[in-house]
Amino acid sequence: DFLQRPQISKCRSPEMETFSCFWTAGNFYNLTVPRILQLLYKKSNEEDWKECPDYITSGQNSCYFNASYTSVWTPYCVQLASKNEVYDKKCFSVDEIVLPDPPVHLNWTLLNTSQTGIHGDIQVRWDPPPTADVRKGWITLEYELQYKEVNETKWKELKPRLSTVAPLYSLKTARDYEIRIRSRQRTSEKFGEFSEILYVSFSQIGIECDRCTEEVEFPWFLVVVFGVCGLAVTVISIMLSKQPRLKMLIFPPVPVPKIKGIDPDLLKKGKLDEVNSILACHDIYKTQLYSDDLWVEFIELDIEDPDEKNRASDTDRLLSEDHLKSHNCLGAKDDDSGRASCCEPDIPETDFSTSDTCDATSDSDQFKKATEKEEDLLCLDRQDNDESLPSFANTDPQGQHRNTQSENSLLWAPFGDSVESSRPSVHTQISNQNSLTSTDFYAQVSDITPAGRVVLSPGQKSKLGRAQREGCTEQNFTVDSTYFCEADVKKCIAVTSPEENEPHVQEQGYNEDGYFTTESLTTTVANLGASTAAPPSSETPVADYTSIHIVQSPQGLVLNATALPVPDKEFNVSCGYVSADQLNKIMP
């Protein structure tokens, strides 16, 4: 029993047109002394306190201010006082104390039922509280609907809405529901009182649920949740587990695109030379070089640009490497790095000084060698129907293993006899762009270097005597059995505008071997006949050659093994072929 002062409990306006204040009397005084509590009010712009105009309408301990006393946005102060004492005071403005009456005339209609008849949708309608003048827009109301099953305790809520209709979905037709609604002014936070409860019973309108026994609902939700969690846990544990086999079983590695023999990382990050070397080992890339006809029309030749020689251009290297590497792609184990196929440690360095190691480094040396090779190729590819026999000289790399020319002749002399016999076979193997009868000199150009060198295709390459490259003056054409390119000769003879297919003449003093068919040589020589220089080949011992054992891709020929002892060092792998026994030596 503690003392309670009389106090104003609340002031409320239901429609923003009138308002009422309520108070509690408290037990301050004993009941014998009549207490006269007054409610006084004052508008902010007034000086005097006035007494409440209506103590009755709102009930006991209340004061009702009707519309004439109400000014909406005017601040009021009310105080609860008796004659002597002020017990409580409150200040407010009417717009702040708006609490609407509950909605009226609730009803519901059936929208539809599910196919099984277990669930149904209904729509609830109601009217705004009659006191609120919504139609004239004086007050804007928001409604909140709550519903629950009859025997439940907790109400479910819908979101506040402005309209006076609300659908309720998926109610169970076997159950009864209760619905109640309350409203508030739109920008307020507080809701008014709840409306009367509306009872929803499907049986009332004749919806009977046949199969609606008290079923235990399958806890689908739980099943799904737990299933997903378990799956996630399993997946994560597998991913994190150290067992590679299990991991491989569940998550097989996705095969990345891979070309056998090429390491994709190398392609991304490796040096260009390495890439070149690797690409060169694969025939699929080489075949690109020999596409027909594309290049014939677009040959550009720059004459004598000495600077170009020293430019280690990528294309040069690519091409040169290509030619170089092709011969090394034998008997290598593929370990997917792409380089193993180029690894042939057994091949002596005579001819492919740059190409026997996998880490083909680019340097000017290599470039020079490359250009050498190109020239050989060029010479070789101009296959004409020469009758003169080729002569073989040892291929001579730059500064290494230089064979004397006498050796050359010695070396290859025994072959001479077999030349004739093997001519047909050789000839058949030769790329078919040569015709016996054709006296025109042409060859198919397979590629063009930026330096203007033309790479002719395909087929046997030869290393031609480059002895003449230093210049005609230096060379002694007739010295040995070295056979060299017509181009060289021509160049020496007449430095004229190049033919389409005329290659450069390098000023290098090498003796290279060249292998020609007899036909080609003959033709070449025949063409040379016009020129003054006597082809050296005519004076040299008859070039020797063997029959072709295997034609290995466009750039290689494997010759038949002969009885000729071939020193290991002088590995007579010319521009593009190995003899069979040499091949055997190479291969493990």
Partner 1 sequence: MSTKGTSLKGLLLVTLLVSHMLLTKEGVTSLPICPNGSVNCQLSLEELFDRAVKLSHYIHFLSSEMFNEFDERYAQGRGFIAKAVNSCHTASLTTPEDKEQAQQIHHEDLLNIILGVLRSWNDPLIHLASEVQRIKEAPETILWKAVEIEEQNKRLLEGMEKIVGRVQSGEVENDIYTPWDGLPSLQLADEDSRLFAFYNLLHCLRRDSHKIDNYLKVLKCRLIHDNNC
What residues line the site for partner 1 (CB under 8 A)?
16-17, 44-45, 67, 70-75, 77, 91, 93, 95, 133-138, 140, 186-187
How many angstroms separate the CA atoms of 51 and 91, rounded? Answer: 15
Q: Measured from the CB of residue 187, what is the shortest distance to partner 1 in angstroms?
A: 6
Find the shortest distance in angstroms from Cβ 258 to partner 1: 23
Q: E strands, 94-225, where?
A: 104-113, 119-127, 141-149, 156-157, 165-172, 176-185, 198-201
Of 189 and 297, which has the nearer Cβ to partner 1?
189
Q: How far is CA 448 from CA 146, 311, 358, in A?
A: 86, 15, 25
Query: Measured from the CB of residue 89, what is the shortest distance to partner 1 in angstroms?
Result: 8
Distance of closest approach, residue 502 Cβ to partner 1, in angstroms: 55
Q: How far is the CB of 311 from partner 1 (least distance, A)?
A: 39
Q: How far apart are CA 504 and CA 209, in angstroms?
A: 100
Nearest to 460 by CA among 422, 404, 492: 422
- Kindly state the smallest distance separating residue 127's Cβ from partner 1, in Å: 14
Q: What are phi and psi of 268, to 5 degrees?
A: -80, -45
DSSP string, 513-580: -----HHHHHHHHHHHTTSSSPPHHHHSPPPP---EEEEETTTEEEEPP-S----SSS----SSEEEH
- Side-chain half-sphere exposure of 157, counting CA atoms within 13 A: 8
Q: Report the residue number, 136 or 245, with the smaller CB distance to partner 1.
A: 136
Least distance to partner 1, CB of residue 182, Å: 20
| DSSP label of 21 | E
- Listed in sequence order, the residues at least 6 apart from 189 whose beta carbon sits closer than 8 Å to its beta carbon are none
By DSSP bridging, strand 165-172 and strand 119-127 are: antiparallel
**In this complex, which beta carbon is closest to partner 1, that of residue 139 or of residue 492?**
139
Q: Which is nearer to partner 1, 133 or 407 (CB)?
A: 133
Tell me the three-class secondary structure of 209-235, residue by residue: CCCCCCCCCCCHHHHHHHHHHHHHHHH
Least distance (Å) between residue 161 CB and partner 1: 14
Which one, 162 or 216, has the nearer CB to partner 1?
Answer: 162
Give me the torsion for CA of 499, 501, 506, 511, rounded to 10°: -120
Helix %, strand %, coil % for the chain, to 5? 30, 20, 50
Please list, in sequence order, all residues whose beta carbon lies within 8 angstroms of the beta carbon of residue 77, skipping any fewer than 6 positions away. Answer: 41, 42, 44, 89, 90, 91
User: How far apart are CB 73 and partner 1 at their closest, in Å?
Assistant: 5
Nearer to partner 1, 140 or 584 (CB): 140
Distance set, CA 282 to CA 330, 376, 448 (Å) = 11, 22, 20
Smallest distance from the beta carbon of 167 to partner 1, in angstroms? Answer: 21
Burial class (CB in 10 A: 0-12, 13-18, 19+), 348: buried
With 0-12 CB in 10 A as exposed, 13-18 as middle and 19+ as buried, what is 144? middle
Using the Cα atoms of residue 247, residue 252, residue 256 and residue 258 in order, give the sign of their dihedral.
positive
Q: How far is the CB of 185 from partner 1 (least distance, A)?
A: 10
Whichever of 170 and 187 has its CB closer to partner 1, that residue is 187
Minimum CB distance to partner 1, residue 29 (Å)? 26
**3-state SS class at 253:** coil
